[in-house]
A and B are shown apart, each in its own frame.
Chain A
Amino acid sequence: GIQGIQGIQTCLRVAGAAAARPECFLSVQDGLAADFRAMTKTLYDLNKGSNIVRGGPLKELVIENFDEEQIWQQLELQNNAVLDFFKESIARDAKDEDLCLLSDQEEDGSDAETSSDKELEDNIMEAEAEQKNVYTKDKDKTKAKEKQSKLRENIIQKYSDEDSDVDFDIEALEQQAKTAKETTWKKTGRKSVVDDKFFKLSEMEAFLEHAEKENEEEEDDINYFEDIISDDEEEDSEQAKAKPIKSSRDMTYKDFFDPVDDDDDLVANDVEDDEEEEADSAIEEQNEESMSEFEDMNEMVEHMRSKEASKKVTFSLPDDSETEDVTEMQLEKGMDPGEIKSSFEKRQEKMSKRIKSLEEALLEEKPWQLKGEVTGQKRPENSLLEETVLFDHAVRMAPVITEETTFQLEDIIKQRILDEAWDDVVPKEKPKEEAFEYKKRITLDHEKSKLSLAEIYEQEYMKLHQQKTEEEENPEHKEIQEMMDSLFQKLDALCNFHFTPKPPVPEVKIVSNLPAISMEEVAPVAVSDAALLAPEEIKEKNKAGDVKTDAEKTPTDKKREQRRKKLRKRMRRREKEKRQKLLEKMKPEQGIKLSKKAAAAKLKRLAKEGKASLLKDEGKDKALKSSQAFFSQLQDQVKMQIKDASKLKKKQKTEKAFSVQKLKL
């Protein structure tokens, strides 16, 4: 009992002394460390003395020749054992409505007051540890606040461990800072012009007052229920007030600073602070003393306000300039809902709403589209059909034919037609190389070469070097010759009056009429037999076909030939007569000459027909050459006369006979 109180008092004294000179902590203080260790031991033993809570297995804290780490582990053992008990008790007390001492506005009845002092006294570390584990900005706020309140009541036993010194101090500070803030909020609850996310004027005022008070009260008895903010944490408090500080090692940007979005944060903070305010009304009773001091501070602070304003840190955000106005307005918005809002206000409202909705969307579970690999089971049925999916095509897609494409094509076609740039296929000509020419290129000589190798190479060398000169001469000569020829031809044309052009040089093609067989024997491959005369050219072919002898001719052949002969003769005769008549008409003298012949011919014709008879001139006109011939001729003539006469008589007789008969009648 008394021993315990004494022990605690000594501890407080030591701790207070140490805290009063924070600069000492910058260097290693062995004496201070030993003091703190002793303190720890006394407290631990006191705990063990009271049998309210079943703690760890160790009866007392052993610190002689022990490391910090070992001492810590001993403490942990104790803490873990008691943790569960405390959880249960708190839960139990929380449910119990009779025990509610805080105002109805609270979200839940905190039982900070009901838990006994002893319990709280015993296990500060557990509370801290719990707070460490449990405290977050959003969750378990109220629980944390309960712990805070517990801690406040039992104030300080600072652990000696140098490693955990910082931790502990910060944790203590954190709770104290929170309480300080809460108290200030509770009391002042007002926003000033200079407020921003780092700095809250009222907080500062509160802190300053507290510090003043602390300086005054250090000699007196320690007020258990008073906040004590150690000097070296003054700077941190301002910044760290708004944030939960876990441990120096785990601190991140967001522990120091609010999120970038100014307005909402301020709003949120304000809201938070309001909540805190409500939740901790219980503390109000205990801290009434300190409140007055804070109020005094406020006036002081107001003097500093102008300075503060200039030092204030601003982010270059669009709405930055109007943060204070906004906050004020937002504060007032709750107060005057019926008022007409300005356009800016409306905009801001919308923005904040939108931001809220976005935040909610972000916090929600993401849609299946954003979840990475999604199988068919993980998404709704046929959901992929509504999605436009992008993927690489391995095959080139067929072009989509639209009106535009057709127009484009037509334009191209029209332009091509105008340019006459047809895509006609140029017929490829295969370079035809005759086998002969190919063989001519390299003739295979199957005999032993007459030239020796040296001579061959010699010849080649000479050829190489001479070839160049030869080629240079000949083409030039040829060209010159051609040009001269054309020139002279033109000059001749101009000079000569009777210009006779040169006869075109006939192309002489030698056609030898040799029998084909002789040509084929010796001819090289290149010579063709187109140059020879055909047999028909030598002798014309008979229309009938083969030539036949009289014996071979058939009757039809003979008749055919006869007809042709007759026809030819007829034609000839008619032509002759025509010519004769024509001649008589035109030239009568010539007609007379020819009339003798014609008369003779006529006579002959008549004699044949029997119309004219020719007096035979039986040789009288013949010139008598020899006498014998004359006499014989005379004899013959006489004989002939006698024969004739006798023939006449016979004829007369016969004729007379016939008349007698007639007469007898």
Chain B
Amino acid sequence: AAGTPPPASGAAPASRPAVSRPLQVGKGELRRIAVPANRYTPLKENWMKIFTPIVEHLQLQIRFNLKTRNVEIKTCQETKDLSALTKAADFVKAFILGFQVEDALALIRLDDLFLESFEVTDVKPLKGDHLSRAIGRIAGKGGKTKFTIENVTRTRIVLADTKVHILGSFQNIKMARTAICNLILGNPPSKVYGNIRAVASRAAERF
């Protein structure tokens, strides 16, 4: 078999000096995020706010494929960070789920924010009126309960029919999830307030 002949005794194998190249992301990695019809208009309205941070800060390429109704994000040569693509994808996904652009932007800026989704029926099998009442309890009058939970636990909640999406740090997601589950299970809002207040104060004291 042909191979490189062994070097002369004592001499190191002849080779070209190594070229120092910056760690580059593989060119042309693509992420696609589907856009449902109800989010089409909000996407159009907030397009500028969406694509600016992605393009300028994360150095990615983004486009909306009209035919497939997908938002496509691609890496390019200028991309420096490997995780930028994931972050951008998460950001767009959060917006599509229903979060505000400013809230979703936190995903890009902070590393340890997560997005959790679950269904109301996961917590307790409800049907018909009971389900509607449960959703109403979560929301509260004018969204009061939902805002209260958001404020105390420093998260953002999106309530889309039977789906609940929570955006925030890990501990806070847990707190908010517990609160929402309690509401689904039937606890009155005042009780839930008391609980989350206690938990949040304890958490605040610790840090």
Contact = CB atoms under 8 A, between A and B. Distances in A.
Interface of A: 441-442, 444-449, 452-458, 460, 464
A452 B148 CA distance: 14
B66 to A, nearest CB: 29
A460 B204 CA distance: 11
Contacts of B154: 453, 456-457, 460
A145 B152 CA distance: 112
Interface string B148-181: 1011101110000000000110000000000000
Nearest to A449: B151
A416 B197 CA distance: 50
Nearest to B108: A454
B148 A445 contact: yes
B33 interface: no
B147 A455 contact: no
Given A453-B168, A457-B110, A445 B103 contact: no
A455 B102 contact: yes
A458 B113 CA distance: 13
A449 to B, nearest CB: 5
A448 B207 CA distance: 25
B105 A454 contact: yes
Contacts of B106: 452-454, 457
A140 B59 CA distance: 118
B201 to A, nearest CB: 6
A446 B139 CA distance: 11
15 contacts: A441-B201, A442-B204, A444-B152, A444-B197, A445-B151, A446-B147, A447-B147, A449-B151, A452-B103, A452-B106, A453-B102, A453-B103, A454-B103, A454-B106, A454-B110
A453 B105 CA distance: 8
B151 A444 contact: yes
Contacts of B151: 444-445, 449
B193 A444 contact: yes
A442 B152 CA distance: 8
Nearest to A442: B197
State the main secondary structure of chain B at its contact with A: helix
Contacts of A456: 154
Given A441-B201, A453-B154, A456-B154, A446 B148 contact: yes
Contacts of A441: 201
B77 to A, nearest CB: 29
Contacts of A464: 207
Nearest to B147: A448
A442 B201 contact: yes
Contacts of A446: 144, 147-148
B200 interface: yes
Contact of B102 (A442, A444, A452): A452
Contacts of B100: 452
A440 to B, nearest CB: 11
A448 B167 CA distance: 15
Nearest to A460: B154
Nearest to A458: B109
A444 B150 contact: no
A456 B102 CA distance: 11
Contacts of A444: 148, 151-152, 193, 197
A452 B106 CA distance: 8
Nearest to B102: A452
A643 B19 CA distance: 164
Contacts of B168: 453
A445 B147 contact: yes
Counting from the closest, the 5 A-B pairs by CB-CB distance are A452-B102, A454-B106, A453-B103, A453-B106, A446-B144
Given A444-B148, A444-B152, A457-B154, A452 B105 contact: yes
Contact of A449 (B144, B150, B201): B150
B186 interface: no
B28 interface: no
A541 B106 CA distance: 70
B148 A453 contact: no
Contacts of B42: none
Contacts of B156: 453
Contacts of B188: none
A232 to B, nearest CB: 84
Interface string B6-37: 00000000000000000000000000000000
B195 to A, nearest CB: 12
Nearest to B143: A448
Contacts of A452: 100, 102-103, 105-106
Nearest to B99: A453
Contacts of A454: 102-103, 105-106, 109-110
A455 B109 CA distance: 10
Nearest to B168: A453
Given A447-B147, A456-B154, A457-B109, 16 more contacts: A441-B201, A442-B197, A442-B204, A446-B144, A452-B100, A452-B102, A452-B103, A453-B102, A453-B103, A453-B106, A453-B113, A453-B168, A454-B102, A454-B106, A454-B109, A457-B106
Contacts of A445: 147-148, 151
Among A441, A442, A455, the one with the most B-chain Cβ atoms within 10 Å of its Cβ is A442
A47 B204 CA distance: 115
A442 B200 contact: yes
Interface in B115-136: none
A453 to B, nearest CB: 4
Contacts of B197: 442, 444
Contacts of A460: 154
A462 to B, nearest CB: 13
B204 to A, nearest CB: 8
Nearest to B110: A457
Contact of B147 (A442, A449, A453, A458): A449
A463 to B, nearest CB: 11
Contacts of A447: 144, 147
A477 to B, nearest CB: 27
B78 to A, nearest CB: 24
Contacts of B207: 464
Nearest to A447: B147
A444 B200 CA distance: 11
A464 to B, nearest CB: 8
A457 B107 CA distance: 11
Contacts of B109: 454, 457-458
A455 B152 CA distance: 15
A445 B151 CA distance: 7
Given A441-B201, A444-B152, A453 B167 contact: yes
B101 to A, nearest CB: 8
Contacts of B201: 441-442
A485 B113 CA distance: 51
Nearest to B154: A456
A646 B197 CA distance: 121
